[in-house]
Structure 1
Amino acid sequence: MPDLPVLGAALSIKSLETYRKLMLDKPRDLELQDFWPAEVLNGDWKPLVEKAKQLLDGHQGRVGIHGPFWGFTIDTRDVDVREIVKKRLLQGLEVCEALGGTHMVVHSPYSTWDHNNLDNYDTGRADKIELCHLTMKDAVKRAEDIGCELVIENIEDKDPHARVELARSFGSKAVRISIDTGHAHYAHGSTGAPPVDYYVKAAGNNLAHIHLQDADGYADRHWTLGEGTVNWHAVFAALGKLTSTPRLIVELRDHSGLPASIANMSALGLAQ
């Protein structure tokens, strides 16, 4: 990664209107977060895409979306539920294609329970991966066809390597790794997982995307960068050793903290 990497943001289309000037002042990567609800994906989302395209006139960064995730996991064993999940992933990729998006966030299936129990079964880890393949195989092929990357984001993941193994198992350039710094910090503080920079090291150059949010190690805070206890120097030092160029997406609960997040990382000499 280059020195002083450029920070992007996860925004709704409404927030993109507010922070359009900031998002266009440098080649900032953007993740739109309007397209994960089932109600949106089952409805007429094309006007939303057209509105986003209008706002992105002159934008130089990469664009993607947060994919659907609410109410399911990609390792579901229920064959009927699996068909719904497959449908949702393909619906998300249809949006990506219309938008010209190059990434879609998918939530990791690994839980804290898994960390203690996958090895309690002779084929526990292999079974987990196989279930994900049954759910994602069509989406992976579709992502390959449209030049989009499915980036698997840690949620409860205590072991930063398990998700990396899952991504590699597809043998596809369309399946990469995402890290959420707040989720990793929660796992570190509350479940005994490694610190956030270890997640970066585990992903290595398979890291294509990172949600940057500050937190306290207890909950999923999505605070302005600099307001929590994430060790940003360690995180950016680990990122600086990569030769890949992951999308650096500031993902906040309150989007009004975006300018301060960028300013705080700039003041630390870490990003712009």
Structure 2
Amino acid sequence: MSRDLPVIGACLPVESLATYRDWLLEADRDLELQSFHLAEVLEGDWRPLVEEARRLLDGHKGRLGIHGPFWGFTVASMDPEIRRVVEKRMMQGLDVCRALGADQMVIHSPYTTWDHNNLDMLPEARAKVFEFTHDTLDRVVARAEDQGVTLVMENIQDKDPAERRRLVDSFGSERLKLSVDTGHAHYAHRSTGAPPVDYYITDAGAQLEHVHLQDADGFADRHWGLGEGTILWPSVFRAVAALSHKPRLVLELRDKARIPPSMAFLEAAGLGR
């Protein structure tokens, strides 16, 4: 197998680390921990969970990140009090990053399909998304800069990947970059008329620091194993290979047992290792 192929990592909850520890360590694979995004966790005592993760990851030399909070809100809420709650949640996510020694946190894009069809209806609509997002995240980004954590904004319903890129660019920070979720992009392509997945990779360009790898049918957010859906994976990996840097490529699968067959699929296709 070519050593030039990208090394694939995974998104895992802490309780799955023991199962995949040897696989993670064998090639210093990137890891995104997905145990710290719920409000109930962030409001509780999450430190024992961090200690367990650190114990299980002893010896791991891959890059480490977390999925930040996202349920129940948008980073561009019109309500100023909600923006303060969202800011608090993001700061709590950065607390976890500091305790873990993680240097990346995934956050969600505010753009929806409804936005795509309505942002040009009122003259101030686009500017308001920027205004509200900055009010939510300016202090979070400043802290991320001080802490050495990169926030990566993931596409959710985004129909035009350039909208999210322009929003991220408006912060002018090396600590706010882009993430592409392949299944979300495929949903937007098949169900809402967005460009195909590789276009999202190409548009992100130098700002792309993170990719969620999941397969889907373009109808729902399946998080299937790779090769089980209809994403054209060679085009996705060609777009990644054209980049001058190496974003984190992590399998985000609903069924973690699909990690080995997904890796077998990538290896057989000569796409990743």
On whether the aligned pair clears a TM of 0.5, the verdict is yes
Other structure's SS at 1:162 match: helix
Q: State the partner residue of 1:264.
A: 265
Q: State the partner residue of 1:90.
A: 91
The code of the aligned residue for 2:264 comes to A
Per the TM alignment, residue 77 of structure 1 is displaced from its structure 2 partner at its CA by: 1.0
Q: What are structure 1's unaligned runs of at least 5 residues?
A: none
Pairing 1:177–2:178 present? yes
Per the TM alignment, residue 123 of structure 1 is displaced from its structure 2 partner at its CA by: 2.1
Q: State the partner residue of 1:55.
A: 56
Per the TM alignment, residue 3 of structure 1 is displaced from its structure 2 partner at its CA by: 3.0
Per the TM alignment, residue 119 of structure 1 is displaced from its structure 2 partner at its CA by: 1.0
Pairing 1:251–2:252 present? yes
Pairing 1:33–2:34 present? yes
Q: State the partner residue of 1:71.
A: 72
The code of the aligned residue for 2:16 comes to S
Q: State the partner residue of 1:136.
A: 137
Per the TM alignment, residue 125 of structure 1 is displaced from its structure 2 partner at its CA by: 1.3
Other structure's SS at 1:184 match: helix
**Root-mean-square deviation (Å):** 0.8
Other structure's SS at 1:60 match: coil
CA distance in 1, matches of 2:5, 2:28: 13
CA distance in 2, matches of 1:145, 1:204: 25
CA distance in 2, matches of 1:244, 1:112: 30
Other structure's SS at 1:19 match: helix
CA distance in 2, matches of 1:114, 1:50: 41
Q: Could you give the per-residue CA deviations for residues 222-244 of structure 1, whole angstroms, max 9, x where no partner exists? A: 00011111010000000000012
Q: State the partner residue of 1:161.
A: 162
Contact residue 206 and residue 244 of structure 1 kept, 8 A: no
Q: State the partner residue of 2:20.
A: 19
Q: State the partner residue of 1:112.
A: 113
Other structure's SS at 2:161 match: coil
Contact residue 160 and residue 199 of structure 1 kept, 8 A: yes
Contact residue 3 and residue 240 of structure 1 kept, 8 A: no
Q: Could you give the per-residue CA deviations for residues 156-208 of structure 1, whole angstroms, max 9, x where no partner exists? A: 00001111001110000000000000000000000000000000011001100
Q: State the partner residue of 2:221.
A: 220
Per the TM alignment, residue 259 of structure 1 is displaced from its structure 2 partner at its CA by: 1.2
The code of the aligned residue for 2:158 comes to D
CA distance in 2, matches of 1:43, 1:227: 37
Structure 2 length normalisation: TM-score? 0.98
Displaced runs of 4+ in structure 1, greater than 2 A?
none
Other structure's SS at 1:51 match: helix
Other structure's SS at 2:44 match: coil
CA distance in 2, matches of 1:129, 1:106: 16
Per the TM alignment, residue 262 of structure 1 is displaced from its structure 2 partner at its CA by: 1.2
